[in-house]
A = this chain, B = another copy of it.
Amino acid sequence: MVDTFSYDTLYSEKSIDDPLKPAAHATYDFAVAYPAPETLPMDGLIQALQVAVDSDSEKVLAEMAYYPQQLGALELREYTCAKLAADRGFTVTPEEVALTNGSGEALGLVIQALTNPGDVVLAEEFVYMGTTAQLRRFGADIRGIAMDKGGIIPEALDDQIVALTAAGEKPKYLYTIPEHQNPVGSTLSTERRKAILKIAHKHGMPILEDDCYVDLRYKGEMQPAFRALDDSGIVVYVASYSKLLAPGLRMGYFTASPELMRRALSFKIGSGPNQFAAVAIEGFLKNNLDSHRDNFTPMLEAKCASMLASLEKHFGDSGATWSTPEGGCYVWLTMPESSDIASIRDEVFQQGVGYVAGTNFEADASGRIGSNCARLCFAFESVEKNAEGIALLAQLFKRHGQM
């Protein structure tokens, strides 16, 4: 009829012409965020679906045929409560748990319920870029809190809140990944968690706890969740089955005080989370959680050891330092301050090694502290490829004058 219809005057003011992110993967893909694909229990998940259908076909059909409730499938919420009580030491009812399309949706809903444009929000100085992207989307002004190897430094947190409040910029809430932090891999001690809770209460500031790596510990002691140390409602707890099972299942969850949950869920677009995946997850985990964990944690440890040994061998004399994780997916590499591995990231990627530059994780997006750092996922590639890829990375850094 006509050539091309023009939308130029029709787009909403809030819409952004963001380019789609390409699906490219490097030969040695340390830029991803997922544990060992070879331990992903596809057969077990499929079998769990079949068992559910065979044992009560009518029930499964009815659940699949109704549009899911806002909270999601009851059986998986019940299982989630049991898992939280056993693994994380706190008790909630299925009515206090909402399943979501990955923990990303949970975080997005809570952020919308608590954030007005311009609100100051605190986070670790290096922190998961998916969350900071959502925080910015909804207008948050993010400030980073100083960390050391043990994560957030409570005194720095308190000082910063006092200073911001004095400047009329009282922070609205704190976002934190307390266990195997993304990207640096730190775990907050119980003592620090208690100190941070005390500070949070002093300033009336909720804690948005992102516990998505908690199932991936292979050594050291798991610390109690913030939520287990505080029952007042000040802690919003978000977690996920993405890392324990598979991101492709898109299943996360959160629990918060009742009104906050209702307000968060009021931002849901479309109806509830996937019932099909929920049946598979609940059916698989209720019988296989321990054996599945026993299967993948040694694999994670071996993969991490391989990457660390290769870093020692190829980066030992470079002045670089790196973290020695007790779980999770990531080694955090810090090159000497004068180096810039952020600017060469795309070239190195083309040459075979993917990583995420530290600048992507800066809470305040200042570009000041991350250009000599990189997050290296040790969990996705094989033991052998972890060793080879780090060797190649050293070569490439040298070729680009960064080592």
Contacts and interface: CB of A to CB of B under 8 A. Distances in A.
B18 A262 contact: yes
B32 A66 contact: yes
Interface stretch (A3-11, A158-166, A356-364, A386-394): A3-11
A273 interface: yes
Given A68-B247, A259-B7, A15 B266 contact: yes
A112 B14 contact: yes
B17 A105 contact: no
For A15, A66, A70, the residue with the greatest tally of chain B CB atoms inside 10 Å of its CB is A15
Interface residues of A, number: 101
Given A10-B114, A33-B67, A232 B271 contact: no
A86 interface: no
B276 A45 contact: yes
Contact of A12 (B65, B113, B130, B246): B113
Q: How many copies does the complex hold?
A: 2
A274 interface: yes
Interface in A232-290: 232-234, 242, 246-250, 252, 257, 259-260, 262-267, 269-277, 280
B65 A108 contact: no
A28 interface: no
Q: Tell which of A5, A67, A109, A130 has the most Cβ of chain B within 10 Å.
A: A5
A280 B276 contact: yes
A21 interface: yes
**Which 5 residue pairs are nearest across A and B when measured between Cβ atoms?**
A104-B270, A248-B275, A64-B248, A108-B269, A37-B65
18 contacts: A1-B232, A7-B259, A7-B260, A10-B206, A12-B112, A15-B114, A18-B265, A32-B66, A33-B67, A42-B60, A100-B270, A101-B101, A103-B270, A105-B269, A248-B275, A248-B276, A269-B269, A274-B276
